[in-house]
Structure 1
Amino acid sequence: MGILEARMKTDLAQIATNMSWLEKMSSVISTLLDSSVFKPLTIINIFNILQLISGTFVIIFYAVNLIEDIGGGNINNYLAAVVTAVTRLLFSSVASILLLKMSRRYLGMFSALGTAFTSLIIAGYLLIKEESPIDIYVIGIFLLLYVAASSVGLMIFPGLMVAELLPQRARGIGGGCNFFFFNLFIFIITKIFPTVSDLVGIIGVFTIFGISALLEAIFIYVALPETKNCTLQEIEDYFQQDNLLWITRSRERRNNEPFVVHKN
């Protein structure tokens, strides 16, 4: 923490108190384009886009409509929406415990793959199902598993990544920029969802969710660095290196020296 505090004081000392508005904007842009800020922001925003397309927030906003489309008149839509909300709360609480035990990357990939698997199972079952009394139970179970899988990782990672990946000197402006785009993406995706649903149907919707979640798992494997038990200084130093993709590092360095900066 002493080194981080020294860095922050140095950065603050370089900022003139009488800067004009144009100079302040130039300083903000310069900060955001710095590699130690731009790289984690890129990772966070790509993660957020894939997370949203995988249906995490669509399920929240359109739970009643989706359950009605899936179950027709055989389900109490509002009761089912409450059950999915309780499931989300429960597994978000479980995630807070798992974060203490598991690596960030493994938890993220587990959540994304679970979301992809359940989404594609729902799409496949809706495609081949015949009218049967058990249909509603099968679909209901996998829908709750989808909510559980997405809640245990994908839903909690955006805030976690802002806290862990962004350097201290840029956490305010970087976090603000990130949450601006995150909420903009939420607005766009939730607004276009009814149109997309009308075009591709409920089967197509869950297929899109599944493919996006699968891409999310691949992205986590390729790009998201492991930050568990690492200091903020080590994370900041990692993003100041040339590499952007975690997978480009050797297996030994990823496992044993995740954030060591090798100087010539």
Structure 2
Amino acid sequence: MSEKHQVLAGAKLPPLTPGPHQKRIGLISIVACFGGLLFGYDTGVANGAEGPMAEELGLSLIQIGVVISSLVFAAAFGALVCGQISDLWGRRKTIILLAVLFFVGTLLVIFSPGGPEHGTFSPAGFAILVAGRIMLGIAVGGASTVVPIYLAEIAPYEIRGSITGRNELAIVVGQLSAFVINAIIAATLGGTIDGIWRFMFAICAIPAVALFIGMLRMPESPRWLVEKRRYAEALRVLKTVRPAERALAELHDVQRTAAAEKKGNKPIGIKAIVTNKWLMRIILVGIGVSMAQQLTGINSIMYYGTRVLEESGMSAQQAVLANIAFGVVAVVGGVIALRNMDRIDRRKTFLIGLSLTTLCHVLVGVAGMLLPEGSAARPIVILILVVAFVFSMQTFLNVAVWVWLAEIFPLHMRGLGIGISVFFGWTTNGFLALLFPSMVSGIGITGSFFLFAGIGVLALIFVATQVPETRGRTLEDLEDDVSTGAIYLIRAEDAEANS
């Protein structure tokens, strides 16, 4: 985005001066990001728990696949439904509901019974286990949509990227925590007691309680309050997270945009999408961005990293330990991404990230083709390249994608818009989770990563031609330009200026 557009975006608002509001925003982001931590832990814990679980409950490979993928498919449903619930009921109340779902889902999983003897199958126990995973999936999907919206709407535009991006950092911290806790539990309790996988899942209850208690003391999104015409409440909230003069000016800005939406009884939600070609276009672009993120194969690595490493030639024990490296570099990459989020344009980070991940895919495929099975170098080279892929993904793509999705949609359809986009992302994720083990078994590491590379090239073309920029602009300015299609004219002007 050109400097001209960034200056115009914030010209009508007083500057963001230091004050106690900074600590308040920090506290709100920490509490809300427990939702991201739960998201990460629940998607990562199965990576080490699936083996002991299958052994104790007598689960077949297809039944394990159902247990793992049920969370992912339920997350697609949760993303779609919870986004709309947050539009109607409020961001804060919806996050509190998600905390309850996380806690109850955890209880169902850890208390699901096995058969009468160790290693025997129980249909009732399997049903309870899957029900718990589905409940956790709904909560994970809801958190993936509502928490970024809440953070984006409460943060000032100057630091919106780094505040909203904290949720993605919390997700990878949750995944790393799952990998480390699984390794610790397996090393200390494995072989001495049955049901160690239940302890792995039980840890999830702690941040769920923290999220529930914390959000009871957090404010509602001021933009959602304005949408519901609760202006006095919105101003009270803004005064706790902005300087006084800025709070009043920002309230007037949000009121102006909300009033323009309601003028002439313009349709909102799904009706607005189907009657406005620009809103339909941005929904399709949002779907494309969300699917492109998943089609890099990042979650296939986070779910089945140990299988990829075993396929490369590592022993099972080596693979479990090496798998922690994926979590470590994801966290490091997330920290770097937060530092860059308010410095580098979203589109530029997308293009850099997709270029690097596609290059890593090609190199993994080449290594798998040139280094024969049994070669001592094969597992080491593939581990290094996959670690480079995860690092590139987290540094340039994952954080930026979630921030962009939370910014791009107008207020009256923000929950619905991100919900639809993330629904398609989670559905793509679900099919990859279901099919990736078979894909690696059938076409090997080489074929799998060459396939991801081909998809990466298509994603690069899509981002370069279709994705508009959002950095450095207020949500209200973005809303005006997205609704009228002017955001694509701005991108064209910037392209001409840079050529």
Using structure 2 for the length normalisation, give the TM-score: 0.45
Q: Which protein is richer in helix relative to its size?
A: 2
Residues 1:170 and 2:420 aligned together: no
Structure 1: segments with no counterpart, 5+ residues = 17-25, 257-264
Secondary structure (helix, strand or coil) at the match of 1:192 reads helix
Instruction: Report how far residue 207 of structure 1 moved.
Output: 0.8
**Partner Cα distance (1:56, 1:158) in 2:** 13
Which residue matches 1:8?
258
Contact 2:407 2:475 in 1 (8 A): yes
Equivalent pairs, count: 247
- In structure 2, the CA distance between the partners of 1:136 and 1:167, relative to structure 1 (3 Å rule), is same
Contact 1:119 1:209 in 2 (8 A): yes
Secondary structure (helix, strand or coil) at the match of 1:230 reads coil
Residues 1:112 and 2:362 aligned together: no
Contact 1:67 1:77 in 2 (8 A): yes
Instruction: Report how far residue 206 of structure 1 moved.
Output: 0.7
Which residue matches 1:69?
311
Higher RCO, 1 vs 2 (CA within 8 Å, ≥6 residues apart): 1
Which residue matches 2:109?
none
Instruction: Report how far residue 89 of structure 1 moved.
Output: 1.3
1:31-50 pair list within 5 angstroms:
31-33=272-274, 34-50=276-292
Secondary structure (helix, strand or coil) at the match of 1:212 reads helix
**Residues 221-242 of structure 1, C-alpha deviation per residue, up to 9 Å, x if partnerless?**
1111122212323323333445
Contact 1:39 1:244 in 2 (8 A): no
Which segment is superposed worse, 52-61 or 211-220?
Answer: 211-220
Which residue matches 1:80?
322
Which residue matches 2:471?
228
**Residues 51-106 of structure 1, C-alpha deviation per residue, up to 9 Å, x if partnerless?**
21210111111111111112343971111111111111110111111112212111
**Partner Cα distance (2:497, 2:299) in 1:** 32
- In structure 2, the CA distance between the partners of 1:162 and 1:138, relative to structure 1 (3 Å rule), is same
Instruction: Report how far residue 14 of structure 1 moved.
Output: 6.7
Which segment is superposed worse, 143-152 or 38-47?
Answer: 38-47
Alignment-mate amino acid for residue 315 of structure 2: G
**Partner Cα distance (1:209, 1:246) in 2:** 32
Contact 1:51 1:212 in 2 (8 A): no
Contact 1:164 1:232 in 2 (8 A): yes
- In structure 2, the CA distance between the partners of 1:12 and 1:143, relative to structure 1 (3 Å rule), is same
**Partner Cα distance (1:222, 1:246) in 2:** 13
Which residue matches 2:334?
92
1:21-32 pair list within 5 angstroms:
28-32=269-273
Which segment is superposed worse, 160-169 or 118-127?
Answer: 160-169
Structure 2: segments with no counterpart, 5+ residues = 1-249
- In structure 2, the CA distance between the partners of 1:185 and 1:254, relative to structure 1 (3 Å rule), is farther
Contact 1:225 1:246 in 2 (8 A): no
Alignment-mate amino acid for residue 350 of structure 2: G
RMSD: 2.9
Alignment-mate amino acid for residue 57 of structure 1: N
**Residues 151-200 of structure 1, C-alpha deviation per residue, up to 9 Å, x if partnerless?**
11222233212221111221122222233332222222211223333332
- In structure 2, the CA distance between the partners of 1:84 and 1:50, relative to structure 1 (3 Å rule), is same
Task: Find the structure with the greater CA-based Rg.
Answer: 2
- In structure 2, the CA distance between the partners of 1:37 and 1:73, relative to structure 1 (3 Å rule), is same
Which residue matches 2:3?
none
Residues 1:160 and 2:410 aligned together: no
Which residue matches 2:377?
134
Alignment partner of 2:492 out of 213, 228, 249? 249
Residues 1:195 and 2:445 aligned together: no
Instruction: Report how far residue 251 of structure 1 moved.
Output: 5.0
Instruction: Report how far residue 214 of structure 1 moved.
Output: 2.4
Residues 1:103 and 2:323 aligned together: no
Contact 1:162 1:171 in 2 (8 A): no
Alignment-mate amino acid for residue 5 of structure 1: Q
Contact 1:227 1:235 in 2 (8 A): yes
Alignment-mate amino acid for residue 107 of structure 1: T
Which residue matches 1:23?
none
Which residue matches 2:455?
212
- In structure 2, the CA distance between the partners of 1:142 and 1:246, relative to structure 1 (3 Å rule), is farther
Secondary structure (helix, strand or coil) at the match of 1:76 reads helix
Contact 2:347 2:467 in 1 (8 A): yes
**Partner Cα distance (2:393, 2:440) in 1:** 20
Alignment-mate amino acid for residue 271 of structure 2: S
- In structure 2, the CA distance between the partners of 1:212 and 1:75, relative to structure 1 (3 Å rule), is farther
**Partner Cα distance (2:258, 2:391) in 1:** 39
**Partner Cα distance (2:431, 2:278) in 1:** 29
- In structure 2, the CA distance between the partners of 1:58 and 1:168, relative to structure 1 (3 Å rule), is same
**Partner Cα distance (2:494, 2:268) in 1:** 37
Contact 1:104 1:226 in 2 (8 A): yes
Alignment-mate amino acid for residue 249 of structure 1: A
Secondary structure (helix, strand or coil) at the match of 2:437 reads helix
Residues 1:149 and 2:392 aligned together: yes
**Partner Cα distance (2:424, 2:493) in 1:** 33
